[in-house]
Chains A and B, each alone.
Chain A
Amino acid sequence: MVADTFTMNIRSGPRHDLSAPTDAQLARRVQRGHTSDLAPLVERHHSPLLGFLYRLTGGDRPLAEDLTQETFLRALRSIQQYQTSRPFKPWLYAIAVNVARDHFKRAETRHAVTLTDDELLALPDPIDLEETIEIDGPRLALAISALPGQQREAILLRYYQDLSLAEMASVLSIPIGTVKSRLSLGLRQLRLSLKDEAVCHTSMNSARN
């Protein structure tokens, strides 16, 4: 089931009919004021973008919906600045990331994570979780939500939105090396969080028994 879900998620990006116009072509027409081309563009990206923001906000659907709408509105307001020679998806996700960051800054909704990147790197590798942990959606959501913002963005863009490293670098406006380092640190931190969860879970089960 996990495998199916993952396959579904990782391949849930837009599937284009070869004869259908590309995102860039649609965006160019929207730039010229063709309202009718807005619908296919939004239909293509609404669901993946909502998914991204849903996970980025720690599973808060109403908030994710608001941020999704704000992302599209902001994209539309700055559509003239979009260069159609470049891919549309990273441009849209860069706006989404900024919208989410603005929200977190305003609302101070992010939970503080005390460990710095250097401290994380100095930690010993956790045990292999595959054999020792039973993880479910809510716990995973909690663990991802507890990641530092930059690592969380990197993990979500890479493993849920299926962006390449180059596309991520464009979305986050950072070099590819920094993207890799954020991904690595994010995964490491995630393993630590899941391990802690597993320990708590096992202790609670033992206490109940």
Chain B
Amino acid sequence: MPHVDELRAKLIEDAGSAAEADRLLPALRHLADWPAPTPTALETDRLVQTLAAELSAQRSSSIVSLMAGLLRAQLRVVQHEIWLASAFVMTLGVLVTLTLQPGTSIELLPVVLLAPLMAALGIAFLYGPAADPSLEIELATPASPRLIVLMRLLLVFLFDLVLSLAGSAALVVLQGSWSLWPLVALWLAPMTFLAALAFLLSVLFIDPLISALICLVLWGLQVLRAFPPFAAFPDWLASDLRPWLWLMALLCVSVALWLAGREERQLLKRI
């Protein structure tokens, strides 16, 4: 009976001697008299389902907590001047808009003209060694620097978005001449595009000043459209251009993240 030999061999290994193994063998053979239950396929399926639900919950909670952690961390890293300058510019824009005569064209409202520029200038200063003193530490963390930059972009953009929404809402409440949604729709797409473009330019040129300057010139042309020599420039506030602006914003962020990833790999190689 090979199984007895197998058992005996195991016992000799465990007990250290053949004599001891032979003394233990009779007891060991009785261990097989105690069968264990076998789970049914349904029970196994149920267990797999429970575990799969746990795995999904675990993943979502870890992704959410990672994102929240990164956002919190970026809050400390982003230069404080960006928050202060944005809040100051938006408050000023709302105050100036309130002093305007009723009947002023909605497209010329300072809030509409300032919101995209404010977001672009804030975001232009997010990337690059000058704007990122903690770059070396970021490269050593498990989170990809590309993800960190994306979180920072999101944080500043969300802040500017909230500011612009609050400014627009304040105007609607205090002035009463405009509705909220048409006002928001006017600046939202240009603001997103200009912010995305600023991000791409700062990744491309590394120097935030160049990025800020290009955005300033581009948006300046939009503002100067009111004057005949600049009327040929495409109107970013026109509703038929909005889908294109959204698309180009997506493209700019994608290219910028790809470039940032490449930059990050080169930096790691150099380190």
Q: Which residues of B contact A101 (CB under 8 A)?
A: none
Question: Pick the contact of A137 from B14, B27, B34, B38 — CB < 8 Å?
Answer: B34
Determine the distance from Cα of A176 to Cα of B51 in the docked complex, in whole angstroms.
33
**What secondary structure prevails in chain B residues at the interface with A?**
helix
User: Is B56 close to A, CB under 8 A?
Assistant: yes
For the side of the interface on B, what is the size category? Answer: 35 or more
Q: Which of A47-96 contact B (CB under 8 A)?
A: 47, 50-52, 54-55, 59, 61, 64-65, 68-69, 72-73, 76-77
Q: Closest 3 interchain pairs by CB?
A: A6-B32, A51-B36, A130-B26
The answer to whether B44 and A140 have CB atoms under 8 Å apart is no
Q: Which of B8-57 contact A (CB under 8 A)?
A: 10-11, 13-16, 20, 23-24, 26-39, 43-44, 47-48, 50-52, 54-56
For the side of the interface on A, what is the size category? Answer: 35 or more
Min CB distance B27 to A, Å, is 4
The answer to whether B14 and A158 have CB atoms under 8 Å apart is yes
Known A47-B38, A61-B37, A136-B33; 6 more pairs at CB < 8 Å = A9-B31, A9-B36, A47-B39, A128-B23, A184-B24, A191-B26
The answer to whether B6 and A10 have CB atoms under 8 Å apart is yes
Tell me the B residues contacting A by CB distance below 8 Å.
1, 3-4, 6-7, 10-11, 13-16, 20, 23-24, 26-39, 43-44, 47-48, 50-52, 54-56, 58-59
Give 10 pairs: A residue, B residue, CB < 8 Å, sorted on A.
A6-B7, A9-B36, A54-B36, A61-B37, A64-B37, A76-B55, A158-B10, A184-B14, A184-B20, A187-B24
User: Is A146 close to B, CB under 8 A?
Assistant: no
The answer to whether B47 and A42 have CB atoms under 8 Å apart is yes
Number of A-B residue pairs at CB separation under 8 A: 134
The answer to whether A73 and B3 have CB atoms under 8 Å apart is no
Min CB distance A155 to B, Å, is 7
User: Is A199 close to B, CB under 8 A?
Assistant: no
User: Is A194 close to B, CB under 8 A?
Assistant: yes
The answer to whether B55 and A50 have CB atoms under 8 Å apart is no
The answer to whether A50 and B6 have CB atoms under 8 Å apart is no
Determine the distance from Cα of A158 to Cα of B32 in the docked complex, in whole angstroms.
13
Q: Which residues of B contact A3 (CB under 8 A)?
A: 1, 3-4, 32
The answer to whether B28 and A187 have CB atoms under 8 Å apart is yes
User: Is A110 close to B, CB under 8 A?
Assistant: no
Stretch at the interface among A16-24, A33-41, A111-119, A200-208: A33-41
Q: Which residues of B contact A160 (CB under 8 A)?
A: 31, 36
Min CB distance A59 to B, Å, is 8
Tell me the A residues contacting B by CB distance below 8 Å.
2-3, 5-7, 9-10, 30, 33, 35, 38-39, 42-43, 46-47, 50-52, 54-55, 59, 61, 64-65, 68-69, 72-73, 76-77, 125, 128-130, 135-137, 140-141, 144, 155, 158-160, 165, 180, 183-184, 187-188, 190-191, 194
Among residues of A, the one whose C-beta sits closest to the C-beta of B4 is A3
The answer to whether A54 and B55 have CB atoms under 8 Å apart is no
The answer to whether A50 and B27 have CB atoms under 8 Å apart is no
The answer to whether B54 and A76 have CB atoms under 8 Å apart is yes
Among residues of B, the one whose C-beta sits closest to the C-beta of A125 is B23
The answer to whether A35 and B44 have CB atoms under 8 Å apart is no
Q: Which residues of A contact B35 (CB under 8 A)?
A: 5, 9, 137
Q: Which residues of B contact A140 (CB under 8 A)?
A: 30-31, 33-34
B15, B20, B35 pick with most chain A CB within 10 angstroms: B35
Q: Which residues of A contact B20 (CB under 8 A)?
A: 184
Determine the distance from Cα of A184 to Cα of B24 in the docked complex, in whole angstroms.
9
